[in-house]
Structure formats: structure tokens, C-alpha cells
Amino acid sequence: MGGIYFILGIVHFTHTGFYRPMMPKFLPAHDALIYWSGIAEIVLGLGVLFPVTRSIALWGIIAMLTVFLVVHVNMLLPGNRLGMSLWALGLRIPIQFALMYWAYVNLP
């Protein structure tokens, strides 16, 4: 789990343009939010790897994924789908909850 979040955090810096269209229009400073979320994923991913920080990192992942739901729900609205099918966008919501559950069940 830690490795996945670490790598995805790096991707926020190497492929910022991929995330930019997904950002809700009502949020400010899209690039800064993309970079900060990348930093969060890197730090939390690393935190999962060490027993002393694992618990706080897993709770942080749950909180982060909760915040990311704003992006996923916003993309369900007409005009925000970026050409993606509604079923694919809708599938992202239960995946978020599954990832939260995965973090929760790994709490020490």
C-alpha cells in the first residue's frame, strides 16, 4: 500500500497535466492542490512503511481519500465528465471506499 501511494504521489509531479482537467472549477490554485496532494500521498505512503508512523499514516490516507471524493463526485456532474462514461466515473466512488476500508483494516 505504501509503495502505491508513494508512486502515485510522484506521478502528481511528473504528470500534473493529467490531473489538471479533473480539478473542480470551484477550487482555487489547481496546480498547487495537485502538488500538495502529491506530497500528501508520498508522505503517507512512506508513513505506512514504518511501524511508528503506520497508524497516523493510515488515518491520513482515509482522510485524504475522503477529501478526494470531492473530485470524483464533481466529475459525475454533466459538463465535468471529460468524455468518460458515467459508469466508469461512478465506479470510482466505491473504489475510493474500498481503498479507505483497506487502510482501515490495516490499522495496528
Q: What is the pLDDT along the chain (108 residues), one digit of tens a residue?
A: 999 999 999 999 999 999 999 999 999 999 999 999 999 999 999 999 999 999 999 999 999 999 999 999 999 998 889 988 999 999 999 999 999 999 999 999
Predicted TM-score (pTM) of the model is 0.92
Q: In the structure grid, which three cell numbers stand for residue 78, read together?
A: 454533466
Whole-angstrom distance, CA of residue 15 vs CA of residue 105: 31
Q: Which of 38, 46, 59 is nearest to 106 (CA)?
A: 59
Q: What is the pLDDT of residues 22-31, one digit of tens each?
A: 999 999 999 9
